[in-house]
Amino acid sequence: MSLKMNKVNKPKNTRTVAILTGATGGIGKAIAKQLVTEDATLILVGRNLESLEQVAKDLITDKHCSGKVYNCATDITKAEGRHYLAEFITTINEQVNMLINGAGINDFNLFEQQSSDLISQMMHVNCTSPMLLIHELYSYFKKQPAAQIINIGSTFGSIGYPGYSSYCASKFALRGFTESLSRESADTNIKVRYFSPRATSTPINSNAVIEMNKELNVNMDSPEEVARQFCQFIKTDDNSMYLGWPEKLQVKINQLFPTIVGNAIIKTLPIIKKYAQIKLF
């Protein structure tokens, strides 16, 4: 028996109606802005109502905005917050057909200096919470004609990097989960996908990271560029998209020959450790 693989292809004239977590963040805001200029309806999710209202106001007052925006202030790291979101989408008169898991945290630091609370939180915000949110909403999406779930990963979900051990662990786990669920959902109406930005200029990166990236000649994208690529990605049938050269090549080489990439990274370890141990404001 052959499996009928799902396609992203939406029925014609179906508008994107998307839940966006991390909507108040640098990448989230840029994705929201791009999507509403393409007629999408958005349910912006974040913990702080005031910040959400500001994002929504900026979106709907933009002359290019042709979409619609709802705010849902809730904490998706808590069970009651995820239930609230699931209830919320049944109260608006919309058929939600996309979930974008964009909320995330980072802490550039040496592993031994990180608090155990922060290590747990990193795994929870970046991996466990998106998994549990998908679990909460999966039956809703199964009832839609077609749906997409897009998890925002990172280059650090494919390459282990000093100073980012906990972050890498959370994003590697998110990537593994996405790949598995994508295959498990292949005979359903739900397409599960992974979108992997490289370093991007947003508040998630401390000044130490920005200075280190300059010294190491690491490229940093603008959130607008990431959003532009994101909007291209959701129109394709691809399971994943990795941004940036040389990062996407390094991801491939790291899979096949991890020692080559590892040796190159280890050469820069003194620089990484220097920035991981100083606090720049």
Ligand X SMILES: NC(=O)c1ccc[n+]([C@@H]2O[C@H](COP(=O)([O-])OP(=O)(O)OC[C@H]3O[C@@H](n4cnc5c(N)ncnc54)[C@H](OP(=O)(O)O)[C@@H]3O)[C@@H](O)[C@H]2O)c1
Question: Of residues 44, 65, 103, 147, which one binds ligand X by CB under 6 A?
Answer: 103
Instruction: Output the CA angle 152-131-21, nearest 5 degrees.
Output: 50
- 208 part of the interface to ligand X, by CB under 6 A: no
- DSSP character for 68? E
Q: Following DSSP, what letter does each residue of 120-161 receive, concatenated?
A: HHHHIIIIIHHHHHHHHHHHHHHTSSSEEEEEE--GGGTS--
Question: Of residues 51, 95, 114, 240, which one binds ligand X by CB under 6 A?
Answer: 51
For ligand X (CB under 6 A), the number of binding residues is 28
Q: How far is the CB of 55 from ligand X (least distance, A)?
A: 9
- Classify burial at 163, counting beta carbons within 10 Å of its beta carbon; exposed 0-12, middle 13-18, buried 19 or more: buried
Q: How far apart are CA 224 and CA 228, in angstroms?
A: 6
Q: Rounded to the nearest 5°, which phi and psi values hold at 88?
A: -55, -45
Catalytic residue among 70, 164, 167, 194: 167
Question: Of residues 146, 152, 159, 212, which one binds ligand X by CB under 6 A?
Answer: 152
Nearer residue to ligand X within complex by CB, 138 or 161: 161
- 165 part of the interface to ligand X, by CB under 6 A: no
Find the distance separating the first CA and the last CA of the chain, reported in whole Å.
Answer: 60
Q: Is 220 helix (H, G, I), strand (E, B) or coil?
A: coil
- 206 part of the interface to ligand X, by CB under 6 A: no
- 229 part of the interface to ligand X, by CB under 6 A: no
Question: Of residues 16, 34, 41, 77, which one binds ligand X by CB under 6 A?
Answer: 77
- 203 part of the interface to ligand X, by CB under 6 A: yes
- 48 part of the interface to ligand X, by CB under 6 A: yes
Q: How far apart are CA 227 and CA 237, in angstroms?
A: 17
- 244 part of the interface to ligand X, by CB under 6 A: no
| Stretch in the footprint of ligand X (CB under 6 A) among 97-105, 112-120, 177-185, 211-219 | 97-105
Provide the binding-site residues for ligand X, judged by CB under 6 A.
22-28, 46-48, 51, 75-77, 102-105, 125, 152, 154, 197, 199-200, 202-205
